[in-house]
Amino acid sequence: MQSADANFSRSSLSLLLALSRYNDAVHDMEQTVLLPSLLRDVSPDEAADESSKDLFDSYLMLKSIRTTMECGLVAQEGHRSKITSDLNKSLQPLLMETDAEALFQFHLRGLFTVMNSLTKKTHNLTNKYMDIIG
């Protein structure tokens, strides 16, 4: 049991570190990007980022995610809420049948991947802004 506790402690510390890195990256982005409107109509460099139409949209999304991370989940409104609700309903039977530890490991791995990706996007946006202003 001590081994499981030690692994959980390391995972928790790593998770806190990943969340802290993202929070720091967004803070740096906010301190650097003084005129977010300059990011309008600037397309993201990453072709895979189809969720954002321009860097201004990405900027708002990255700030919103940090707010959600700091304040917890709040009632979502609009289209994303419906998608999330529908996804939760469709996954519920699968989640009930899956081993809790395996499910935890799967989601923890996914969370690390997402947080690292968001941190990288935040750094890229900050660098692109610096290129725009010279």
Residue 76 has pLDDT above 70, yes or no: no
Q: Tell me what pLDDT residue 1 has.
A: 46
How large is the average pLDDT for residues 1-26? 76
Other Cβ atoms within 10 Å of 37 Cβ, number: 9
Mean pLDDT, all residues of the chain: 81
Q: What is the predicted pLDDT for the residue at 81?
A: 60
Q: Record the pTM.
A: 0.74
pLDDT score of 6 more than 70: no
In sequence order, which residues have a C-beta less than 8 Å from that of residue 63 and are 6 or more positions away?
26, 30
Helix, strand, coil share of the chain (percent; to 5)? 80, 0, 20
| The pLDDT of residue 85 | 67
CB 32 within 8 A of CB 129: yes
Kindly report, residue by residue over 20-63, the tens digit of the pLDDT.
999 999 999 999 999 999 999 888 875 445 567 899 999 999 99
Q: What are the structure tokens assigned to 105, written together?
A: 């490991």
| 120 has pLDDT over 50 | yes
Most confident of 43-52, 80-89, 96-105: 96-105
Q: Where are the domains of the chain?
A: 17-133
CA distance 76 to 21: 25
Measured between alpha carbons, how far is 55 from 52 in angstroms, rounded to an integer?
A: 7
pLDDT at 114: 94
